[in-house]
Chains A and B, each alone.
Chain A
Amino acid sequence: MLELKNVTAKFGNYAAIRDVNLRIKEGEIVVLLGANGAGKTTTFRTISGLHSRSSGQIMFEGLEISRIPANKIVELGIAHCAEDRKLFPDMTVQENLNLGGFVHRKRKQQKKETMQKVYDLFPVLYNKRNDLAGSLSGGQQQMLAIGRALMARPKLMLLDEPSIGLAPLIVEQMFKSIQQINKEGTTVLLAEQNANAALSIANRGYVYENGKIVVEGSAEELFANEEVRKAYIGA
């Protein structure tokens, strides 16, 4: 579904990611593991068109997308749910979701149905639909950020550290929801530092170090990998 071939992306002269090769099949949950600054976010920004790659190829469903502007990439079916769950704090929950469905603005009925699905997935958002997004708790904000990305009806969802700054109980729920989203037909690419939780729901994973992929394998393989355990699971 999505394939990165030798992708390099730079900030000035500094290569934030170097020769990254990734492959995501339809229906999978794939996790990118790595410390802060390892290149996970840059990978996401490069895929979604917010950062231009300096070399390499990004193929999505057989189409080379690395030169397509970010807003068109959303229309192709890739939704990017950024780190630090950026919402529109002065807008209500419902308005946030509404903007998430911007690419489907002409299909009102379909948009309504999608919004209902998001509310089914996160009932608390429905209860708070008229509240300002800025007044939500951390967990609810993350739900809203994911819900807003879902409003674009993506085939592939890029989730950048959804568990960051959340209480353990909420993290668990968050990952259950992600699993649910995946079951309903959305392929998920996840960036995480919480390797334990992420690998428990993922099919496969890649480990980043200093902008390069150093290990890749199935979730079980990574879980059993001595170095990964040492570095990211802490056991």
Chain B
Amino acid sequence: MSILNKRMIMIILILLAVLFPFIVPNQYYIYIMSLSFIWIIAVYGLNLVAGFTGYLSLAHAGFFAIGAYAMGILTTKAGMGFWLAFILSPIITMAIGLLIGIFALRTKEHFFAIYTLCVGYIIYLLIDKWESLTGGVRGLIGIPPIPNIGPIELSNPVNRYYFLFIMLLLSIFIIYRIVNSLVGRTFIAIRNSEDLALSLGISTTANKLLSFVLSTFFAGLAGALYAIFIRFLGPEISSTIIMFDMLTYLIVGGIGTFAGPIIGTLLIVWTSQSLQFLEDYRMFVFGPLLTLIIIFSPNGITGFFKHLTVKRKMRKVSIPIETKKEA
């Protein structure tokens, strides 16, 4: 796939997203799509630490909830202005992420996954039990809607759709810049081999922490968007079910690939929608799908197509390589 092709695909995708409310003028579908955008942002955050850096953080839903509850509590209980709270929520999430990351990153591999799984559960328990702050099981209500920006009414679902779409584009742009910067390369280096990264002079401790904190930023941002979009929060948004939903989106789309979060999230959200009549039996579809992908294409759908194009490229150049003597 040439760069031109990639650019074309991107432009087409953006156009499709922009035209979506006109192609499908169905309130419910616009709602589902808007919600998907929020999940995609969260999954991008997860991809940064789990995909690119190789540290499977299972506390991601917890950080998502922290962002959401920060937004909810700041606007309802602290009476803070909407935009200030919106900026502060991801920052608060990052600060908590930093504190947790310092300890969590002392562990590796499976231990890191288990450690963060526990962290996620503790966050869930805190939200569930700390009634005076979070409203406990009854949840948090009365979160203000997105105020209008000038003449643009964001109470209108289509405008809200565009607002979330712009947030998504901004997030993807930032992630793209991170992944393709030298810092992003150090993340990939760490995923490849920490020893190797160290012997190139990369401080693995600092860079792992940076990756983890950045991932919590996107979790927090997605959480804050979720709070103002749904306007009701319950402790279940930090549950392991949400965590594994996000992980499924990422794995199906392609962990450690750039397009993975978009493809995985949209695919599963929409198949899940169209299989609604199956109710909980939908899992009979997703379970085998996930297993097949892990077995046959560990890098998900994106990885599968990437593999195909690389193979095709190899075939094209294989003749000159064989005839050329090794230098």
Contact = CB atoms under 8 A, between A and B. Distances in A.
Contacts of A89: 192
Given A135-B314, A139-B326, A90 B199 contact: no
Contact of A88 (B188, B326, B327): B188
Interface in A116-132: 123-124, 132
Category for how many chain B residues contact A: 20 to 34
Given A50-B198, A70-B198, 17 more contacts: A69-B203, A70-B195, A70-B199, A74-B199, A74-B200, A80-B199, A86-B193, A86-B196, A95-B185, A98-B182, A99-B200, A102-B182, A102-B200, A105-B182, A135-B314, A140-B327, A148-B200
Contact of A103 (B185, B188, B201, B204): B201
Interface in A46-91: 48-50, 69-72, 74-75, 79-80, 82, 86, 88-91
Given A99-B189, A124-B327, A50 B195 contact: yes
Main secondary structure of the interface of B (DSSP, over half): helix
A132 B306 CA distance: 13
Contacts of B196: 82, 86
Contact of A71 (B192, B203, B314, B327): B203
B186 A99 contact: yes
A152 B314 CA distance: 31
Contacts of B326: 137, 139-140, 167, 170
Interface string B300-322: 00000000001000100000000
A121 B211 CA distance: 35
A152 B193 CA distance: 18
Interface of B: 182, 185-186, 188-189, 192-193, 195-196, 198-204, 310, 314, 326-327
**Most chain B beta carbons < 10 A, residue from A90, A99, A135, A140:** A99
A72 B200 CA distance: 10
Category for how many chain A residues contact B: 35 or more
A152 B201 contact: yes
11 contacts: A50-B198, A71-B198, A71-B200, A71-B204, A80-B199, A86-B192, A99-B189, A123-B327, A139-B327, A152-B200, A167-B326
A147 interface: no
A100 interface: yes
Contacts of A167: 326
A71 B188 contact: no
Contact of A49 (B182, B188, B198, B310): B198
A109 to B, nearest CB: 16
Contacts of B200: 71, 74, 99-100, 102-103, 148, 152
Nearest to B199: A80
B73 to A, nearest CB: 40
A72 B195 CA distance: 13
B317 to A, nearest CB: 9
Contacts of A170: 326
A110 to B, nearest CB: 15
A172 to B, nearest CB: 12
B199 A88 contact: no
A152 B202 CA distance: 11
Nearest to B196: A86
B199 A50 contact: yes
A135 B198 CA distance: 24
Interface in A134-191: 135, 137, 139-140, 148, 152, 167, 170
Contacts of A49: 198
Contacts of A135: 314
Nearest to A81: B199
Contacts of A124: 327
Contacts of A100: 200
